[in-house]
Structure 1
Amino acid sequence: MHKKRFIISVDSCKPGMRTAEAIANRYGAIILYENTVLDEHAIEHLRNIGIRSIPVFEESMISVSGVDQDWAITHDGQSFNIKYEQDVHAMKKTLTDISTGKRLNKDATDQIVNTMISRPAENRNMIDAIMQIRTIDEYTYYHCMNVSMLSMMIARWMNLDEAMVKKCAEAGLLHDVGKAKIPPEIINKPGKLTDSEFALMKRHSEYGYMIVTEDRNFDHQVALAVLTHHEKMDGSGYPMGLTGDRINQIARIVAVADIFDAMTANRVYKDKDTPFTVFQLMQQDSFGVLDPLVLNAFLHNITHYYVGSRVRLSTGEVGEVVFMNRMDFSRPVVKVGDRFIDLAVTKSISIVEFL
């Protein structure tokens, strides 16, 4: 039986509570393992390194004298955070089941997608969740959830109808389902893959298509998006080398969401990039790779959410993003103390860390 988990603020943590997953610092290093019983020292350490909330097991929270659930749960986006963690767990079970030979559970994926699209006013919470530090070994499960949320947002920003919004969310959730058929030692390999390993890794989109099409209740356009989300507009992608006019719209949307989440996450083989670095790469280096209409809708909308972000500059100074430059989203205007630095003008200074 699955133990219930709650997202709880570190300030509300009490000795005796147990962590419901491994806790990592901003660099991806594990500092507390799942099932760790918290003590005063561990709680203080979490607070000192800037971790604001953690998942704990419900029964350990209730067993601690004087702790009330409604008081303990983080009040900022509390219901979203709880549901997000539950959905990630459901996706983990889905992929684990597939890796052991079971069929894809459409009821489980429908429940995740239907809940997500029924809460259209939570973009802020979704983007905050996407930017959280996640444990590297559970990257795939969080990535599926994040790509689903981003795909849904892009579809809405493009003013697509709600039927298409749902298909995009579903395709985003399932785009990497084929990785359940790839050996974990390849998925989690810290170094560069060999040619044969990379060839096998690339087959995840084909495996995903076969898994999804086993159930005729899945929309075929969703299945095609799972198959073709690594195709590129200029025909240099895989598995079929399709050009842009032959890649369906859902796959083009998932491709943008997939690249953004992958580049802003810690991976076993690379450190995460700041969102501003990713904006630069997507805006300047994506010609021939991504659909420009999809990319334009994504960048012009998601960048709004980074106004107010705290960043560290290459000078060592910490400032606040106050304005996004549309011509180069990677170089916003940053307020440092009483000064305003326009990074589009002051080319010698750049953002090196997202705080």
Structure 2
Amino acid sequence: MSGTKQISIDQLIPGMFIVEMDIPWYRTPFLFHKRLIRDHETIGVMKQHGVQHVTIDTTKGLDVQAQAPTPSPLPETSADAEHASPPDNTPSEDSSSVPPDGSALQIAAVYGEAQEAVERIFADLERGVPPTPAATKVIVGGVISQVMQDRSALLLHSTFLKLKQFDRSLGAHALDTAILSLVVAVESGVDRALYEHLGTGALLHDAGYVRLPRNLVRKRDECTESEQRLLEQHTQLGLLVLGERSGFHQEVCRILAEHHERCDGSGYPRKMKAADISALAQIVGIVDLYDKMVSRRGGRPAMIPHDAVRQLFLVGERGQYPKPLVEAVIRSIGVYPVGSLVRLNTGEQAVVVGVNPEQRLKPQVKITGGPHGEFYSNPEQIDLSLPSQDKVSRTVLRVLDPAQERVNIAMYLGDVAERAA
């Protein structure tokens, strides 16, 4: 607390770390306000959006220097830029918006603020107030930035929170679907110009559910035929809640309308075939399927991640999704996704904490127990694709059920998430 102080926007210079602005996040183009100021352009954007005061943390960045109180009405000029150059105590290795040892906190901040924003969007939808493209652009832009920076750490954090949530909301599912859809897009070589449309469509793909009875949407038991038909209307209802003049790109609207269509014509609502379905809608569709399988919602238990991967393989074999897309998803999450509990060939028990896209059968694991059922108080984290210090060659033998083994997966992912990246 003693390291924070409020200063005028005219006192802000590159090298300072801000923790708060004097206006809400949604009135700025920044998803999160905690950031290292790297250039005068950022300060100029803040001024354009009405920021007059900020709170800085002097333990993470520069302090206000003792100098003549000369105002800087044009901070973006080259003369001012030279005058405001950070002194020698600026960390030279800090090439990102957050120091390396704070990256996990940054990911948590990005995810947390994005989730709050998405929950507000769904709360507004329930009140009949649709989101604007500008509002979703801020959220999606922040997620895209983090996916490009460190998607593995973001997926780890997402999985960690998923395990802690006993009953996930529509907003939480929407955000995780957007994150993984963007990861798959990167993995499968989707044109970067389409990322924003993909992320926005993924965030809003289930918007139509707000027009359906909540007890039906969250029903645990199998639905009757009439109930299922009603649920399937959420694709058309999604377009209605956005409104005819929503301003959203056509690709976004197609994702809402087509994410439940299947290449073999078995989907809904129009039973479209492969060539007619939006490629972005297919990405959101298969990610939506996976996220729902591995999530607890409406009292329904989550599927073991490895079993969910097997289901993805089967829908690809049945021709419901293009095989290259299924392979891209599996490359993104791994054959043994983060959070899987596995038995190694040594008899040891381990929790998967990271995937190796190039060697999908050799994930990064934390060894939590020995071959005789003993639990380790200080689990060792190793990469199965690399030689181990004890010269033992370890491989995954089989997948275990955490419930049957009475293992709290979140407990082992928590400290990894804190040290991620």
Question: Given the two structures, how large is their TM-score scaled by the length of structure 1?
Answer: 0.68
Q: Is the 8 A contact 2:205 2:255 kept in 1?
A: yes
Q: Is the 8 A contact 1:331 1:350 kept in 2?
A: no
Amino acid at match of 2:226: S
Larger Rg: 2
Q: Once the 2 structures are TM-superposed, how far is the Cα of residue 300 of structure 1 from its aligned partner?
A: 2.1
Q: Which residue, out of 99, 104, 112, partners 1:85?
A: 112
Q: Which residue, out of 179, 197, 200, partners 1:149?
A: 179
SS where residue 77 of structure 1 aligns?
helix
Q: Which residue, out of 283, 290, 295, partners 2:326?
A: 295
Match of 1:49 in 2: none
Amino acid at match of 1:214: E
Question: Given the two structures, how large is their TM-score scaled by the length of structure 2?
Answer: 0.58
Q: Is the 8 A contact 1:333 1:342 kept in 2?
A: no
2:313 is the counterpart of 1:268: no
2:153 is the counterpart of 1:125: yes
Quick check: 230-239 or 153-162, which moved more? 153-162
Q: Once the 2 structures are TM-superposed, how far is the Cα of residue 245 of structure 1 from its aligned partner?
A: 1.1
Q: Which residue, out of 184, 206, 227, partners 1:197?
A: 227
Match of 1:221 in 2: 251
Q: Once the 2 structures are TM-superposed, how far is the Cα of residue 266 of structure 1 from its aligned partner?
A: 1.1
**Equivalent-residue separation in structure 2 for 1:352 and 1:340 (angstroms):** 20
Structure 1: 5+ residue runs without aligned partners? 1-68, 344-348
CA change 1:210–1:311 in 2 (3 A) is same
2:319 is the counterpart of 1:319: no
Q: Is the 8 A contact 2:198 2:252 kept in 1?
A: yes
Match of 1:232 in 2: 262
How many equivalent pairs are there?
279
Match of 1:160 in 2: 190
Amino acid at match of 1:289: Q
- After TM superposition, the structure 1 = structure 2 runs for residues 247-262 of structure 1, keeping only pairs within 5 Å, are 247-262=277-292
1:158-180 CA-to-partner distances (Å, cap 9, x unmatched) read 22222112211111111111111
**Equivalent-residue separation in structure 2 for 1:142 and 1:126 (angstroms):** 14
Q: Once the 2 structures are TM-superposed, how far is the Cα of residue 211 of structure 1 from its aligned partner?
A: 2.7
**Equivalent-residue separation in structure 1 for 2:166 and 2:132 (angstroms):** 25
2:135 is the counterpart of 1:108: yes
**Equivalent-residue separation in structure 1 for 2:340 and 2:223 (angstroms):** 35
Q: Is the 8 A contact 1:333 1:341 kept in 2?
A: no
**Equivalent-residue separation in structure 2 for 1:325 and 1:152 (angstroms):** 18
Superposition RMSD on alpha carbons, in Å? 3.5
Amino acid at match of 1:302: I
CA change 1:88–1:161 in 2 (3 A) is same
Match of 1:179 in 2: 209
**Equivalent-residue separation in structure 2 for 1:330 and 1:280 (angstroms):** 14
CA change 1:252–1:331 in 2 (3 A) is same
Structure 2: 5+ residue runs without aligned partners? 1-58, 61-100, 372-391, 410-421
Q: Which residue, out of 238, 243, 259, partners 2:273?
A: 243
Match of 2:401 in 1: 352
1:75-113 CA-to-partner distances (Å, cap 9, x unmatched) read 561122122122112111111211122223332211101
Match of 1:53 in 2: none
